[in-house]
């Protein structure tokens, strides 16, 4: 008992002097901070950030391979930099860390810089700052879930692909070639040519400096302004062109086609909508189930409808070339200004006397023979290029000032 009391007294004495007895616990350590790069935001998300970069060689080419949304912006700096941000909702830090296991890396070789983001889920964004000396950027979303691609203020050429996300770009100095399996394509100002495809979404282009070749399997196409020829195709939506400095070729399976102003020839066909063309250098149009309306028509006009009316308003002072308007099941109306000379020949494919309502006394009907349909013809304002009119409905020839 005395020995035990003595040992107890020694321990108490050492503790009073601040000395730990041998075999006791050391001073308490600070708690270990796990996942120091993961923070909690004010809106109750867990956030993880990763950044990096490298020098961009002159005329460099940039390749981006990602599983998530990519945002690329131009910069006046000389370095390519990236920022990978991940945001998740989770109950605990450990749960958030398990969800945010992705990472990004950069590899530079002569002429090529490769940035890769992998192991990521859809709630991450890869942001890039790219200098002007980069001439080409190739972006590819690898995940089947897809991801959006956004590009702004980039001076080079762009090639982009995403399985199902949207593609958006503005202030791109070079060309754009973009494909998406099912997203929308929205382009602002593009200096070079545009080639694009979407499996289901719409296509919108505000200002293309060169030619445009775009196709959608099921959406609409809207071109506000273009400096080059247009080739547009839609499997199920409308096509609208406001203004282009050259020609338009538009094909729609079930939608309407409308062209406001084209300095070149307009070629348009649709299986299930109307066709409207404002001013153009000429029009070749076919509609299976809708009307065709031409305004300020000049040049060569070749228009046919299976089920629909045709209205052609000739441009005052315009130069018409030999043309043909045919409506298998519909009426044809042509308005002719006083300073346009044209020779009209009209036939009724259904047989019988051609039904023509004309403001011009020069146009008269006559019989040819029983083997050929009856004909109405006349030289209006002295005659000029031949305008062939054929159909089963009524043909109207009207004067305009």
What integer best gives the mean pLDDT of the chain?
86
Confidence of residue 228 (pLDDT cuts 50, 70, 90): very high
For residue 7, what are the contacts with CB-CB under 8 A and spacing of at least 6?
Answer: none
CA dihedral 153, 159, 164, 168 (to 10 degrees): 20
pLDDT of residue 367: 52
Structure-model confidence comparison of residues 90 and 124, the more confident one:
124
pLDDT digits (tens, 9 = 90+) for 2-31: 443 433 343 434 344 444 445 445 555 555
Model pLDDT, residue 141: 92
Q: Render pLDDT for 28-82 as a digit per residue (tens, 0 to 9).
A: 555 555 776 777 777 778 888 889 998 877 677 899 998 889 999 999 988 899 9
pLDDT, tens digit, for every residue of 301-329? 999 999 999 999 999 999 999 999 999 99
- Residue 28 confidence (pLDDT): 54
pLDDT classification of 300: cutoffs 50, 70, 90: very high
CA–CA dist 75, 401 (Å, integer): 57
Rounded mean pLDDT, 257-271: 97
Q: In the predicted model, what is the mean pLDDT of residues 210-218?
A: 96
With cut-offs at 50, 70 and 90, classify the pLDDT of residue 118: confident
- For residue 42, what pLDDT is reported? 72
Q: What is the pLDDT of residue 17?
A: 44
C-alpha angle with apex 340: 337 to 341, nearest 5 degrees? 130
pLDDT, position 379: 96
Calculate mean pLDDT across residues 78-104. Answer: 79
For position 174, what pLDDT does the model report?
A: 97
SS3 of the chain: the string is CHHHHHHHHHHHHHHHCCCCCCCCCCCCCCCCCCCCCEEECCCCCEEEEEEEEEECCCCEEEEEEECCEEEEEEECCCEEEEEEEEEECCCCHHHHHHHCCCEEEEEEECCEEEEEEECCCCCEEEEEEEECCEEEEEEEECCCCCCCEEEEEECCEEEEEECCCCEEEEEECCCEEEEECCCCEEEEEECCCEEEEECCCCEEEEEECCCEEEEECCCCEEECCECCCEEEEECCCCEEEEEECCCEEEEECCCCEEEEEECCEEEEEECCCCEEEEECCEEEEEECCCCEEEEEECECEEEEECCCCEEEEECCCCCECCEEEEECCCCEEEEEECCCCEEEEEEECCCCCCCEEECCCCCEEECCCCCCCCEEEEEECCCCCEEEEEECCCEEEEEEC
Minimum mean pLDDT among 38-47, 66-75, 199-208, 283-292: which range? 38-47
**The pLDDT value given to residue 12:** 37
Closest C-alpha among 178, 175, 138, 151 to residue 162: 178
pLDDT, tens digit (0-9, with 9 covering 90-100), for 165-198: 999 999 999 999 999 999 999 999 999 999 999 9
């Amino acid at each position: 008992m005395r020995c035990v009391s003595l040992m107890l007294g020694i321990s108490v004495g050492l503790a009073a002097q601040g000395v730990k007895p041998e075999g006791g616990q050391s001073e308490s350590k600070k708690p270990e901070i796990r996942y120091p790069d993961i923070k909690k935001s004010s809106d109750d998300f867990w956030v993880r950030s990763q950044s990096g970069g490298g020098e961009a060689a002159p005329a460099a080419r940039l390749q981006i391979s990602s599983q998530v949304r990519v945002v690329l912006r131009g910069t006046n700096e000389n370095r390519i930099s990236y920022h990978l941000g991940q945001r998740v909702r989770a109950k605990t830090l450990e749960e958030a860390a398990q969800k945010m296991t992705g990472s990004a890396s950069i590899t530079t070789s002569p002429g090529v810089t490769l940035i890769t983001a992998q192991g990521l889920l859809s709630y991450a964004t890869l942001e890039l700052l790219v200098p002007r000396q980069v001439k080409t950027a190739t972006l590819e979303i690898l995940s089947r879930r897809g991801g959006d691609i956004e590009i702004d203020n980039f001076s080079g050429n762009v090639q982009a692909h995403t399985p199902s996300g949207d593609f958006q770009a503005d202030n791109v100095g070079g060309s754009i070639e973009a494909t998406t399996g099912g997203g929308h394509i929205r382009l602002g100002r593009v200096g070079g040519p545009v080639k694009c495809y979407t499996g289901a979404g719409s296509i919108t282009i505000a200002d293309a400096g060169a030619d445009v070749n775009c196709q959608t399997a099921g959406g609409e196409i809207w071109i506000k302004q273009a400096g080059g020829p247009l080739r547009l195709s839609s499997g199920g939506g409308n096509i609208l062109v406001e203004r282009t400095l050259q020609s338009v070729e538009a094909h729609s399976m079930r939608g309407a086609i409308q062209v406001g102003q084209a300095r070149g020839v307009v070629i348009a066909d649709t299986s299930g909508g109307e066709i409207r063309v404002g001013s153009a250098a000429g029009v070749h149009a076919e509609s299976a189930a809708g009307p065709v309306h031409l305004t300020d028509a000049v040049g060569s006009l070749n228009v046919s409808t299976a089920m629909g009316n045709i209205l052609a308003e000739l441009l005052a002072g315009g130069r018409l070339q030999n043309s043909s308007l045919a409506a298998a099941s519909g009426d044809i109306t042509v308005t002719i200004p006083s300073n346009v000379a044209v020779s009209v020949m009209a036939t009724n494919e259904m047989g019988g006397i051609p039904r023509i309502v004309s403001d011009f006394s020069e146009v008269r009907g006559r019989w040819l023979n029983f083997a050929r349909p009856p004909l109405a013809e006349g030289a209006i304002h002295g005659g000029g290029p031949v305008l062939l009119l054929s159909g089963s409905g009524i043909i109207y020839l009207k004067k305009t000032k």
